[in-house]
Structure 1
Amino acid sequence: MNLPLNPRANLQGAIDLGALAAAREAQQRAALAPKTKNSYVIDVDMSNFEADVIQQSMTVPVVVDLWAQWCEPCKQLSPILEKLAADYAGRFVLAKIDIDANPELSQAFQVQSIPMVLAFVGGQPLGLFQGALPEVQIRPVIDQVLAAAAQAGVSGIAVASESTESDKDPASESLSETHDEAPSDPRFDAAETAIEAGDWDSAIAAYKVILKDAPKDPVARIGMLNVELMKRTDDMDFESVLASTDDSCESQLKRADALFLMNDYDESFACIIEIVRANIGDQRSLAQERLLALFDIAGTSHPSVTKARLALSNALF
């Protein structure tokens, strides 16, 4: 089994954040379902991969978490993904694959480092990200998967399986308890409500209120940057943007946003760095500001960010 995991190839023309409206409707249906202690998390191996990942993704998006017992970043990421699976209440299923116990699947996915996260929509794999990202960076990725799924007509709601204490993954048990017990921060309620409604301006305004009192709040800052990105790309025709030969600053910034949302960080950053290199004044300042924002969303420790920072320095000096 050889699965293509190039996110640019799989997501080009597929992620249209305008489709979030349909995905939001599915979320509302899920919100009306009775709340239980059931789990939307499943363990997957070769015996159930075809049924629980490939076939299930025909009706419900499946997010795949590739992990191992010895992997410390996996222990940070797994409980976040499990919490999101519960929060989204069946709009996607989280499938966990232990790569040590399933070397055939690890080889099929061409795993080079873990944690590694991808999704299946309509039986097709979509590369998402590698490494342990914080929840504030993962939520927009999940929203993008759900938007692509809604556009493809995959917007079913999964039926949760019964969860018991013995079902808990030892890689994430203690951290899961931390997530379960942590109370929500009411300061973010307005922003979250606006995001669920697709009201990007109100969400940005809500984050600005938080940042006025706490200018360095990382959750609010990254949250606002993510919402600004979603606002810029809300009605974007990704295929047209990527096919365009217009080399203007505005067009290249749009192209950079599209590439970024498809996780092609290297090409996205390269587009903006070229603007910095070729321009002076306001256009250079705008491009530099946009690039730094994308750096923050991607995460300062991401290898593409490290490489792009050096390229930016060379372009500036």
Structure 2
Amino acid sequence: MDMIFNSGAKPAAGAAKDLIKDGSAATFVTDVIEASRAAPVIVDFWATWCGPCKQLGPMLEKAVLAAKGAVRMVKIDVDRNQELAAQLRVQSVPTVYAFKDGRPVDAFAGAIPESEIKAFIAKLTAGAGPSLDDYVAEAKQILAEGDAQTAAGIFQQVLQHDPDNAPALAGLLRCLMALGDAEQAEQMLARVPPALAKHADIQAVRTALELAKTAATASGETANLRRRLAQDADDHQARFDLALAYYAANETEAAVDELLELYRRNRAWNEDAARKQLVKIFEVLGFAHPLAKSGRSRLSTMMFA
């Protein structure tokens, strides 16, 4: 599968270029009229000699980038596009128009505070369709239902608009794991910028990869490990390995049960290995997952009994 994500600085610049561009009379129909049928477009009429333009422009760009694809921006230099400015009755700069569905729907003139810019964009994008967060949530649900290929495609599209979207990146990495390409997931993870790598979703994927590696060593040994436990219920290594085997086979609940039983029998075994492994599994599942909630509750009861 070809990946569109690149963890360096260039993708962010590319995304900004797609969302914010310099326009002209020659490109106005394409960049504004036609583009506004897909997403609202803000048109900033400015001039190099205009002081307020230098204040407003960066604030507009910041707000557009923060909208993460819900709105786009085109900058028009009035000195180079005087006829276009006249057609739109631009009498002073800065003047900002908002286009939607091929026509102007709102406008303002002069520099305004950042709070008003946010309100302007919020009004423009209200009811504009699903947000990137909505698409991420949809992809997560599709992945949970077992269609990793489709989910990966949605995560990739989100990352095209917002390369630093940690939940989308984590979702894409999980898709790779589900598709049996843990090696590529590890390579992508190694290229994630340090700041993004600290995100809880990315850390959970890192833990999931570590667990998968550990569990792979016990995969296929379930029957033998059960026999060992039948002969000696205090064979702690066998129980620990059985939990890993269950995890490798996607029997996560059984893995949690065995680790909790191991903790109940000998919480200090192998430097608190059962609890540490449980914490990793809960991290991978996510705080809101029912199994993580019940498992944490059972573990807490044992710890403070």
User: How does the TM-score come out when normalised to structure 1?
Assistant: 0.38
Larger relative CO (CA 8 A, sep 6+): 1 or 2?
A: 1
- Larger C-alpha radius of gyration, 1 or 2? 2
Q: Which has the higher helix share?
A: 2
